[in-house]
């Protein structure tokens, strides 16, 4: 009796182990790849999965999007500028069978192919493109990595360049270049402003010259603007033709310009009284 009870307990124990190994529950974002005696037979999930104990083996695959940090890569751009670039890639498994059968470790393989593509693509670009055309480079990286991981059942949804580190000397050179560019723009804007101001003044002079009264009104307006300020000195602009008589009266006679000499006139001969008048 005791022996039968012991055998029953042992059988119940092994039965519980077999039941535990034969029942699996998969979540909504999980899939199970079933192998029977080493042969792929099915992909199941989500929900309750029943396996044959000691014969079937299941490998779970997570279908959620994975955030992969690509370590910093030393890149030399096409114009021979060294830079350290790191990025982040987003991918997910779309075919569980290929992700398990076609590649040993799809996570490691995706990481390695991402690093290789990052060095390859950025090495073909110039440094200015690396700073200003990140969106285009991101799209190109995503396309190349996705084409490489497609046979593994992995879909790369996005690749983003996070940071670009350059040597300190190159940072100073970029700062000087940006400063020179800002100075160039400032000079161009200043020159354009002076040109437009000169053009407007020329137009105003042309308009005023057509009507002398407008010049007098402008003169009076200028006097009004001068008088509105609390100044100790007031300057009255006067035309030169008004001041010319006063200047001539102040100037000494020796400093005045001498009148031009009279033109040379031949002398008139004086008739001799002793001679008889000539008859013509």
Q: How much is the pLDDT for 34?
A: 92
Phi and psi, residue 273, nearest 5°: -70, -25
- Please classify residue 55 by burial: count the beta carbons closer than 10 Å to its beta carbon, then call 0-12 exposed, 13-18 middle and 19+ buried: exposed
Angle at which helix 106-123 crosses helix 134-149, to 10 degrees, equals 140
Tell me the residue ranges of DSSP E strands in the chain: 23-26, 30-36, 39-44, 47-50, 56-62, 66-76, 82-93, 154-165
Same domain, yes or no, for 152 and 82? Answer: yes
Identify the domain boundary among 107, 136, 166: 166
Tell me if 207 is assigned to some domain. no
Q: How much is the pLDDT for 13?
A: 72
Structure token digits, residue 17: 């182990």
The dihedral of CA 255, 260, 266, 267: what is its sign? negative
Convert the pLDDT of each residue in 115-160 to its tens digit.
999 999 998 988 888 888 899 999 999 999 999 999 999 999 999 9
Tell me if 240 is assigned to some domain. no
Question: Alpha-carbon distance 53 to 91, whole Å?
Answer: 34
The CATH number that applies at residue 90 is 3.30.479.30
β-strand partners of 218: none
The residue written with tokens 């000195």 in the block is 233
Following DSSP, what letter does each residue of 215-247 receive, concatenated?
HHHHHHHHHHHHHHS--S-------HHHHHHHH
Tell me if 233 is assigned to some domain. no
Question: Alpha-carbon distance 13 to 19, whole Å?
Answer: 10
Same domain, yes or no, for 86 and 22? Answer: no
The radius of gyration computed from the CA coordinates of the chain, to the nearest angstrom, equals: 50
Tell me if 47 is assigned to some domain. yes
For residue 53, name the pLDDT band (cuts at 50, 70, 90): confident
Domain tally for the chain?
2
Cβ atoms of 114 and 68 closer than 8 Å: yes
Tell me if 204 is assigned to some domain. no
Tell me if 107 is assigned to some domain. yes
Q: What is the mean pLDDT of residues 186-191?
A: 91
Q: How much is the pLDDT for 163?
A: 87
Is the per-residue pLDDT at 256 higher than 60?
no
Q: How far is CA 280 from CA 114, 275, 277, in A?
A: 130, 15, 9
Query: Range of 55's domain?
Result: 18-62
Q: What is the mean pLDDT of residues 255-264?
A: 58
For residue 114, name the pLDDT band (cuts at 50, 70, 90): very high
Q: How much is the pLDDT for 266?
A: 58
β-strand partners of 158: 90
Q: Which helix (H) or strand (E) holds 177?
A: helix 168-209
Same domain, yes or no, for 88 and 132? Answer: yes
Question: Alpha-carbon distance 171 to 39, whole Å?
Answer: 58
Of residues 128 and 255, which shows the higher confidence score? 128
**Which residues, 6+ apart, have CB-to-CB distance to 40 below 8 Å?**
33, 34, 97, 101
């Amino acid at each position: 009796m005791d022996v039968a009870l012991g055998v029953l307990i042992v059988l119940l124990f092994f039965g519980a182990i077999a039941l535990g190994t034969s029942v699996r529950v998969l979540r909504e974002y999980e899939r199970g790849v079933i192998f029977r005696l080493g042969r792929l037979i099915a992909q199941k999930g989500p929900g309750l999965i029943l396996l044959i104990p000691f014969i079937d083996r299941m490998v779970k695959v997570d279908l959620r999007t994975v955030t992969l940090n690509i370590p910093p890569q030393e890149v030399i751009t096409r114009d021979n500028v060294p830079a350290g670039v790191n990025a982040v890639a987003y991918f997910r498994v779309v075919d569980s069978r290929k992700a398990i059968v076609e590649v040993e470790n799809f996570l490691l393989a995706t990481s390695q192919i991402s690093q290789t593509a990052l060095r390859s693509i950025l090495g073909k670009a110039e440094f200015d493109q690396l700073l200003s055309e990140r969106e285009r480079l991101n799209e190109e990286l995503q396309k190349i990595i996705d084409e490489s991981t497609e046979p593994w059942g992995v879909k790369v949804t996005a690749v983003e360049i996070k940071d670009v580190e350059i040597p300190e000397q190159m940072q100073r050179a970029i700062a000087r270049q940006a400063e020179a560019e800002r100075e160039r723009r400032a000079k161009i804007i200043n020159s354009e402003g002076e040109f437009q101001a000169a053009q407007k003044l020329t137009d105003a002079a042309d308009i005023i010259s057509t009507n002398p009264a407008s010049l007098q009104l402008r003169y009076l307006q200028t006097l009004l603007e001068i008088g509105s300020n609390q100044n100790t000195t007031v300057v009255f602009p006067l035309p030169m033709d008004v001041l010319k008589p006063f200047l001539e009266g102040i100037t000494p006679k020796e400093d005045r310009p001498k009148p031009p000499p009279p033109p040379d006139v031949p002398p008139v001969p004086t008739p001799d009284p002793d001679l008889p008048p000539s008859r013509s």
